[in-house]
Structure 1
Amino acid sequence: MVEKRTHMSETIPTADRLPLLGSALEVGRDPFRFLERAPAEYGPVFRVSIPGLSFVCYTDAELVERVLAAESDRYRKDPRELDLLGDLLGEGLLTARGEIWERGREHVQPAFYPGRLLEYGEEMLDRTGDELERWEDGHRIDVHEAATRLTLSIVATTMFGVEDVEETDAIADAADAITSRFEPSRVPMEIPLWVPTPANRRYRRATDDLDDVIEAILRRRRESGGETDADDRPDLCSALLTAGESGALSDAEIRDHLVTMLLAGHETTAIALTYTLGLLASHPDERERVLEEVRAPAELTPRTELPHTDRAIREALRLYPPTYMLYRETATTDTVAGYEISEGTRVCLSQWAVHRNDRYYDDPLEFRPGRWTPEMRESLPEYAYFPFGGGPRQCIGRRFALLELRLCLARILRSVRIESVPETELTPTPALTSRPDGPVPVRVRR
């Protein structure tokens, strides 16, 4: 239960207040460590103040549920998100609101129906097999680089209907430049996009290159009459093009949905796969349990049940959620934990803070897949675990991502054993996602 305050006039606790800099130094030194310890130090609701930016953090599962589900009408998507990502994602599902979002979701949703997912699963297994051909016995590989290449090939095949995206490097560079721009530890305040810093210039070049990629894909698909390179299976791209021909979606909306799915459909999954492989490499006992499970079936299919593999993925997503913060803005004044939160207040919901809170998890900093028993899941508050968000705007690709993680991980470990090396470290970067701050090397044994 959220601790109730008795005086409505109480001031919301604020992380270290320094003249001019506010909370910038405390947060900037180690944002993830700050998120881990702040709930115990400041309580379930506290304010963070950085030059040009102030927001209130909710770090209690009940409050997360209030914002995302129970009282979601009191909160809206953060307008600042449009300022930061609007030029890139436009009216895609991550940034769109109201009727535009509802219409977009209506046209995107069929690409993620259960029957379609099973078809995608076969492609996921095939693409993983292709990636494994690059891995040589005894060699060291950067699993983040490999995972990014793999998940990009999967989204290209399943969502865009092409066997490969020739412009893969442009897409990967764009994702890297986009997430790099949002690293808060570089300076204690945000730098507007119009300031011609090296990071901003790289971001602009990357978004231009990404637009070129999308235009090339759409041009090829229109010239082929919408047919795909990968069988005759309909995909997201063809569905959006059909909606465009009927007048239901504009060319700009089609572009925005495709850019959103291209980036969100591979970046966060690559991060999750990287951390899961890295954790298993560093925890041999857990790795062997997964190895035994994935190598037992005579054949691996999208329908194969892999409970321990699923628990390892769930635990990796708890410890290292690729999306580690969600932002909303109060649409009306709300009262939470006894504090009055005025209309127009920016609110932060941090997966990192909640997932690593010892109120919900024993030994929360330990990688323990076995914790996810049916009894534990039954007793855990629903929003003490929300790697994909929740409520009406829960990630539309959640089931796709979980299936992809399960099949890629299982296919990899059926073929090779991943071992840690002294340099195997999982150190996330506090950027737009919690991607690794550098290569994640492991050794491959066949």
Structure 2
Amino acid sequence: MPALTNAIPGPRGLPVLGVGNRLLNDPLEFMVRLQRHYGDLVQLPLGKHTMYLATHPDMVKRITQENWKNYIKRYPTMDEILGQGLVTSNGEYWLRQRRLMQPAFHHQRITRMADVMVEETERMLARWEGYARSHRPFEVQEEMMLLTQQIIVRTMFGTSLSDAEAHTIGKAFNDSLNWVAGQQFRIFQPPRSWPTPGNLAYRRNLELLERTVYRLINERRQRPGEHDDLLEMLVTARDADTGEQMSPKQIRDEVMTIFLAGHETTAGTLSWIIHLLTHHGDTERKLRSEYASVLGGRNPTPNDLPRLPYNRMVIDETLRLYPPTWILTRVLINPDTLGNYQLPAGATVALSPYVTHRHPAFWPNAESFDPERFRREEAESRHKFAYIPFLSGPRQCIGNNFALTEMQIVLPMILQRFQISAVPGYPVQPQPKATLRPGPKVWVEVRG
């Protein structure tokens, strides 16, 4: 075994900028090339700072499981809107919040939420009937964003909001989170106190959200037990050791966080699946055959999902190719060793599911779409940390089962109702923004 070293390989970059311009211009292809050329740990100069890209599953395991407490999150651009929610908090505070929130995502609760998923999908498909009759193309991401937005608003707030209020709140959530996340990719960021159009719109949306969320929290505190939704769970949750409840500010932070984690990510993945199926007829035919055999045209229930293995394989392969969280960072508290390299305290380490999901040692023909990779025998023989769409270890996404259930229900409902085809002339490429969405647009046509 080679001796430990601090000489981590990587490109030199330009004076002042380092490789920042290349990382901003084409981060996906750039990071894949870095892994192929320099190996599993790459040093990236970014002006005055240095970032380390770790891509081997063993390194992922070290960072997310074996020594996870030594790798903390630090997302200053997201602090104002997400506060100290599960995505941004650390240490004992994070652990307490995770324990308080875990029951809200218990399997039985997600099963009850499936009714909302079915109802909202039915509403979407009724709208698609109009598109089919008029032969009108539509942009599938907009439809998926609206669908997942309505599902998360209803499962979060139940019947506390009218349809019009739910739509307004959903749009404000979406606009605010996308605007804040987009600031991470700008070289020049005007202070948020400046009255720019973006800052003013963000401030209006944030004020609307906080007004609404705090009002609903206050109403639930005054009349507990009248609702069966995520907000009720957050309001009534108590610490098992102290009996303490979350403060209104803590609840507000988790509401914002759940919406971020449970909305755009799922919409993007569903959009990718539709796009891929329009270009892989054999996969679509296998799906339809499985649906016909198990469902016979009816809507799926949570009990049906284990009997639809190919449905899940298609979702897993899509998440492999296009993981919504395409990059994330951690900051080292104390020095650590990754592979044969030593990293200092304070180092920023980036993980990229997008790159790890293309590691040639674990994914042959990695750019091809092949759901058969997720047959049980093949999946069980693969390195556990080679596939991390929801990350892994103690900080794995708390809503992963919610998202997977939602996608496994929505997809058969769509394909049992409609034939879908891509509109020619609109090439689709990954758009590495806040999440990895297909773009710039995914235009499709449907027929019954």
TM-score by length of 1: 0.90
By how many angstroms is 1:107 displaced? 2.2
Name the residue aligned to 1:361.
Answer: 363
By how many angstroms is 1:133 displaced? 0.7
**Among residues 383, 386, 404, which one is paired with 1:384 in the alignment?**
386
Contact 2:57 2:385 in 1 (8 A): yes
Name the residue aligned to 1:441.
Answer: 443
Indicate how the Cα distance of structure 1 residues 252 and 184 shifts in structure 2: closer, same or farther if over 3 A, else same. closer
Q: Which amino acid aligns with 1:311?
A: M
By how many angstroms is 1:18 displaced? 0.4
Q: Give 1:214-233 correspondences, 5 Å limit.
A: 214-219=213-218, 221=220, 225-228=224-227
Q: Give 1:30-41 correspondences, 5 Å limit.
A: 30-41=26-37
Name the residue aligned to 1:266.
Answer: 263
Does 2:307 match 1:313? no
Aligned length: 434
Does 2:286 match 1:289? yes
Indicate how the Cα distance of structure 1 residues 190 and 352 shifts in structure 2: closer, same or farther if over 3 A, else same. farther
By how many angstroms is 1:398 displaced? 0.7
Structure 2: distance between partners of 1:408 and 1:428 = 22
Q: Which amino acid aligns with 1:204?
A: R
Indicate how the Cα distance of structure 1 residues 122 and 167 shifts in structure 2: closer, same or farther if over 3 A, else same. closer
Q: Which amino acid aligns with 1:242?
A: T
Indicate how the Cα distance of structure 1 residues 373 and 191 shifts in structure 2: closer, same or farther if over 3 A, else same. farther
Structure 2: distance between partners of 1:108 and 1:115 = 14
Does 2:77 match 1:76? no
1:415-441 per-position Cα deviation (integer Å, ceiling 9, x unaligned): 112211114543232222113343311
Contact 2:69 2:91 in 1 (8 A): no
Does 2:253 match 1:239? no
Q: CA RMSD in A?
A: 2.4
Q: Percent identity?
A: 33
By how many angstroms is 1:177 displaced? 4.4
Contact 2:217 2:248 in 1 (8 A): no
Q: Which amino acid aligns with 1:91?
A: Q
Structure 2: distance between partners of 1:129 and 1:440 = 21
Q: Give 1:93-108 correspondences, 5 Å limit.
A: 93-108=86-101
Contact 1:333 1:340 in 2 (8 A): yes
My pick for the range that moved more, 145-154 or 287-296, is 287-296
Q: Secondary structure of the equivalent of 1:303?
A: helix
Contact 1:147 1:271 in 2 (8 A): yes
My pick for the range that moved more, 395-404 or 34-43, is 34-43
Does 2:125 match 1:132? yes
Contact 2:62 2:338 in 1 (8 A): no
Question: Gaps (5+ residues) in structure 2?
Answer: none
By how many angstroms is 1:317 displaced? 0.3
Name the residue aligned to 2:207.
Answer: 208
By how many angstroms is 1:49 displaced? 2.5
By how many angstroms is 1:367 displaced? 1.1
My pick for the range that moved more, 373-382 or 59-68, is 373-382
By how many angstroms is 1:195 displaced? 5.8
By how many angstroms is 1:280 displaced? 1.0
By how many angstroms is 1:172 displaced? 2.7
Structure 1: distance between partners of 2:283 and 2:270 = 15
Name the residue aligned to 1:231.
Answer: none
Structure 2: distance between partners of 1:95 and 1:359 = 32
Q: Secondary structure of the equivalent of 1:54?
A: strand
By how many angstroms is 1:16 displaced? 4.1
Contact 2:11 2:43 in 1 (8 A): yes
By how many angstroms is 1:132 displaced? 0.7
Q: Give 1:134-149 correspondences, 5 Å limit.
A: 134-135=127-128, 136=130, 137=132, 138-149=135-146
Q: Which amino acid aligns with 1:142?
A: E
Name the residue aligned to 1:62.
Answer: 58
Structure 1: distance between partners of 2:238 and 2:376 = 45
Contact 1:50 1:189 in 2 (8 A): no
Contact 2:423 2:444 in 1 (8 A): yes
Structure 2: distance between partners of 1:313 and 1:202 = 35
